[in-house]
């Protein structure tokens, strides 16, 4: 049976978040809710996805209708290139290896997955275990970009969890993916993620 979507990610945290979003947030993503999918984590993390992802996904050509690739720009080994450039190059390689242009999408998180955590949703503070005021105070202490997101999002998340005495684990990403508002996140990669899924899997009444 042909599967709708194969997803290749770089680590367990990313796998947990993507799996939860696809399983439970179809309405929020504005996609149909009966997608069949498989999520695979590359054992060599971000460099493995970048350098071996095309070869890895060759095994799914003809078996899956669409392929989605996600990895962090930070730690991928080619940080001198922009996220957009990395996406374009890998998508071109996938096109040359059996995937049609419309059937694949590469999403590079810049700098890393944790940038999605800082969405401005009130659920973030609840999952982390700090009040919204405490979280705002932390964000004033660290360098942020124009969207008021930490330039070092993983370090900021670890500091927030240290202050709340909660462990850094994949369960944090599972809880965030399950409850956090998906409309407030203005990160470029997340917007591409949503737009790609909506294009591939529109709601039933729009299909």
Q: What is the mean pLDDT of the chain?
A: 96
Reported pTM: 0.94
Spatial separation of the C-alpha atoms in residues 44 and 192, rounded to whole Å: 24
User: Strands of 64-72's sheet, edge to edge?
Assistant: 37-41, 3-9, 64-72, 104-109
The yes-or-no verdict on residue 129 having pLDDT over 80 is: yes
Q: What pLDDT digit, counting tens, does each position of 102-114 carry?
A: 999 999 999 999 9
Query: What's the confidence (pLDDT) of residue 85?
Result: 99
H or E element at residue 57: helix 45-58
> Is the per-residue pLDDT at 207 higher than 60?
no
Cα–Cα distance, 153 to 101 (Å, whole number): 32
So what's the pLDDT on residue 205? 56
d(CA 200, CA 63): 16
pLDDT given at position 204? 79
**Angstrom distance (rounded) from CA 207 to CA 200:** 10
- Which of 91-95, 164-168, 184-188 has the lowest average pLDDT? 184-188
Residue with tokens 């969890």: 161
pLDDT for 147-181, tens place per residue?
Answer: 889 999 999 999 999 999 999 999 999 999 999 99
User: Are the C-beta atoms of 60 and 96 separated by less than 8 Å?
Assistant: no
**Pair type for strands 3-9 and 37-41:** parallel
Element (H, E) at 39: strand 37-41
Other CB atoms within 10 A of residue 59 CB: 11
* Cα within 13 Å of Cα(197), Cβ side: 27
CB-neighbour burial class of residue 100 (10 A; exposed 0-12, middle 13-18, buried 19+): exposed
Coil, strand or helix at 187: coil
Q: Which domains does the chain have, with CATH numbers?
A: 3-113+181-200 (3.40.50), 116-169 (no CATH)
Q: What is the pLDDT of residues 25-78, one digit of tens each?
A: 999 999 999 999 999 999 999 999 999 999 999 999 999 999 999 999 999 999
Question: Tell me, what's the pLDDT at 206?
Answer: 54
**What is the predicted pLDDT for the residue at 27?**
96
Average pLDDT of the segment spanning 120-141? 93
């Amino acid at each position: 049976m042909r599967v709708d979507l194969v997803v290749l990610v770089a680590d367990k945290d990313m796998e947990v978040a993507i799996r939860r979003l696809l399983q439970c947030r179809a309405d929020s993503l504005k996609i149909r809710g009966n997608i069949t999918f498989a999520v695979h984590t590359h054992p060599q993390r971000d460099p493995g996805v970048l350098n071996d992802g095309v070869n890895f996904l060759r095994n799914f050509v003809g078996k899956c209708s669409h392929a989605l690739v996600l990895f962090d720009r930070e730690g991928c080994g080619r940080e001198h290139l922009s996220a957009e450039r990395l996406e374009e190059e890998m998508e071109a390689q996938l096109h040359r290896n059996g995937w049609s242009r419309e059937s694949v999408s590469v999403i590079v998180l810049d700098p890393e997955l944790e940038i999605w955590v800082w969405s401005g949703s009130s659920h973030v503070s609840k999952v982390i275990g700090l009040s919204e005021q405490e979280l705002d105070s932390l964000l004033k202490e660290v360098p942020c970009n124009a969207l008021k997101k930490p330039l070092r999002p993983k370090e900021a998340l670890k500091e927030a969890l240290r202050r709340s005495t909660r462990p850094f684990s994949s369960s944090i990403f599972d809880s965030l993916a399950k409850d956090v508002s998906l409309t407030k996140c203005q990160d470029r990669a997340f917007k591409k993620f949503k737009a790609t899924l909506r294009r591939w899997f529109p709601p039933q009444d729009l299909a």
